[in-house]
Amino acid sequence: MKMWSTFRKDVIKSRLTQIMESGDEVTIWQNRGDERNKFQATIVEVTDSNTIIQIEDAYKNADYKITKDNTLFVHYAKGDALFKKDAFKTEGLRIIIKTPVELMMKERRSVERFSFKYQDFKNVSFKVGSNDDVESVSYILKDLSVKGLSLIVHESEAPKFSVGATIYITSITDQNLSSGLLATIRYITPYSVSLETDSNLLKLGVQFSDSLESVTFKSISSVIEKKQLKQKGLEVSTFNGLSEVEQEKVLRKIAEENHVLANNIREQNENIDRLRYLTLEMKRNFLLEVNLDLLAASLRLSSKELIYDLISEVTDTMKEEFLYKLDQPKSPSAINKAQDEIVKFIRAKEKSGELVLDPTSFEVLV
């Protein structure tokens, strides 16, 4: 069973609230060696900060009780939702946990969709309207499969669209369309770039009338996959960055204690990640002028790909020195403070014209 994770606080709270209001049971368990001790329970309270689970009365006679020494798993079988907690407290038949920051759910799509980053600059163009009132528009592409796609629009343009409406797609970036493609809008839902602010955006889900034979996926992330193979050639045993999954796990743990700090780190990670667009000359000047101690601290939660991009073409001596600095553990607050300083430095260089971090000029020679 393929699962996907959401880290959006509003989505998680909404889903848990739905489960609570339905009155459906959830299964909770802990692993003891090869055994799994299961109990039935219900979710009785969900707030922004805490969730309370009520265990069935039969638990009173159980041979093995829930213990704080093992991870607690909570599974909603009817809706295929799952989360786990390492820290919790019990009060009789009640388990009190911090509302989870990650919720796993079963993938219900029959065909996998490829997701694009904003930096990919992928667009979908189409005609919308009827009779003489037809308008040609183009919007940012969010994801794509042979059966459909999703796109992002500003809420001010919402009157142009309605669920069930037909659109005529004329082009999709990187895709070879021999002719136009009819499609139907299946859903319209709010879309947020940041959990802390209202982005005033909408996400439209579109289903093609006829499935495409194939789709091509060209993204910054597909380039990264090639670079990850090269990363092994560094042969370093010290810390050299995190995978996307590792980043989310660390940020999830930080969010359990300080949600605002986790969001700040995530946002600054995105800002610093733009350094991957440095040309070779700009990279050399940047590394000569930046405070390397601050840079190393700011990259403690960055990707392997960014770190590889920054140090792959420097001297062995400088590479060794920087990796040593990078290997020094830092607290989340120290990392965020260093990030703030590096982002301030980057923006000053951009303002003066010394750095041009433009994703549209990003080229890879294969």
Instruction: Write the pLDDT tens digit of every residue in 318-357.
Output: 888 888 888 888 999 999 999 999 999 999 988 888 887 7
Domain 114-208 has CATH 2.40.10.220: yes
pLDDT one-digit tens code per residue, 240-256: 788 777 888 888 888 88
H-helix or E-strand spanning residue 76: strand 72-76
Q: Which residues pair with 143 in a beta bridge?
A: 115, 150
Spatial separation of the C-alpha atoms in residues 116 and 122, rounded to whole Å = 8
The answer to whether residue 295 scores a pLDDT higher than 70 is yes
Cβ–Cβ < 8 Å for 204, 188: yes
CA dist 152 and 301 (Å) reads 28
pLDDT for residue 364? 41
Residue 25 banded pLDDT, cuts 50, 70, 90:
very high
Q: What is the CATH number of domain 220-361?
A: 1.10.220.30
Question: What mean pLDDT do residues 86-97 have?
Answer: 93
Domain-wise residue ranges, the chain: 3-106, 114-208, 220-361
Closest by CA to 184, choosing from 214, 144, 153, 148, is 148
More confident residue, 54 or 4: 54
Place of tokens 């629009």: 153
Please provide the CATH number assigned to the domain covering 3-106: 2.30.110.10
Mean pLDDT score, 28-52: 91
